[in-house]
Amino acid sequence: MIEIVTQEEADAITHSGTMHADEVFATAFLDLYYGHLKVARVTELQSNRKKEALVYDIGRGKYDHHQDNAKVRDNGIKYCSFGLLWQDFGKDFLKAKKIKEVEEMFSAVDKDFIEMIDAIDNGIFPSIEASYKVKTTSDLIKMFNPSFHTKEEENQQFLQAVSFAQILFERELSYMLGKVKAKNLVLKELENQTGPILYLKEYMPYEETLLTSPLGKDILLVIFPSNRGGYSVQAVPISETNRENRLLLPMEWAGLEKEELQQKSGIKTLRFCHKNRFIACCDTKEDAFEIAKKTLLEKSHMK
């Protein structure tokens, strides 16, 4: 639980005024790490403070990034306060949570979540081509700033933002832990795979591992139990950045369902094929492999 206090009482000090994802998530992380964090939000640091406090995102110190010699990642993205704090305390935090895969999780969380927040806070925005508004995690935090012509109080809004950030960060930890645990299982299945079909006995987050491992370069279709029951057959994208699929399901199945699809395909329990032909669903494992075989056969006929 976070408490807003004066500099003299504070365990941690950050800047006041407009809030950003960087210091909000840094505060959320510190509170999860230490518990019951007493934080001061200030315009400038008092030089005669009697109590030692962890200072971040202000003051040009160890956990600030506004100075010229701020720490930079190998890819050129400068660490902000959240990233700097994660570098120093992240591993101990993960150990305290009894997470065994500390090294993998430490790197994965930084790459998947923290680096983006650091980048945006340093003015490196993602290139997004869309006809609609796309909000990043940083945009969501900005929405907690007091709205124009309201009586919303700045520190109360900050506390709300930190609570929201803690929920997101803990979900990120849970999500990434699942991906890390699944990675080795996916690699093991890829090692045992001899053809273009990858079969998973249970659903697990497989795509990132498949697309980044040399073992997955020839996989065209993945079969796995669906959380809606039955089995799914899903096409594999070319890469993480190129979302075009390596192979598509047959054209004549596109958008069909149930009886019409079963009649057209000759597959008894095939009940759905997406109109964009990247996924199909059926009731049995045997029919899932039949879907994959017919898709591969059509590909061979097209050569």
pLDDT digits (tens, 9 = 90+) for 262-302: 999 999 999 999 999 999 999 999 999 999 999 999 875 44
Given a cut of 70, is residue 170 above it in pLDDT?
Answer: yes
Say if residue 77 is exposed, middle or buried (CB neighbours under 10 Å; 0-12, 13-18, 19+): middle
What percentage of the chain reaches a pLDDT higher than 70?
98
Give the mean pLDDT of 38-54. Answer: 91
d(CA 31, CA 2): 7
pTM for the structure as a whole: 0.85
Determine the pLDDT at residue 97.
Answer: 96
d(CA 258, CA 277): 15
* Buried b / exposed e along 213-251 (16+ C-beta atoms within 10 A): eebbeebbbbbbebeeebbbbbbbbeeeeeeebbbbbbe
Question: CB under 8 Å to 109, separation ≥6 — which residues?
Answer: 86, 90, 172, 173, 176
Place of tokens 């079909």: 197
Place of tokens 């408490």: 3
* Confidence band of 50 (pLDDT split at 50, 70, 90): confident
Strand partners, 225: 231
Higher pLDDT, 119 or 299: 119
Give the mean pLDDT of 47-59. Answer: 90
Determine the pLDDT at residue 303.
Answer: 43
Give the mean pLDDT of 64-85. Answer: 94
Give the mean pLDDT of 139-168. Answer: 97
pLDDT tens-digit series, residues 239-255: 998 999 999 999 999 99
d(CA 280, CA 263): 15
- 5-19, 30-44, 48-62, 75-89 — which is least confidently predicted? 48-62
Determine the pLDDT at residue 300.
Answer: 57
Contact between 230 and 289 (Cβ < 8 Å): no
- 23-32, 41-50, 194-203 — which is least confidently predicted? 41-50
Q: What is the mean pLDDT of the chain?
A: 95
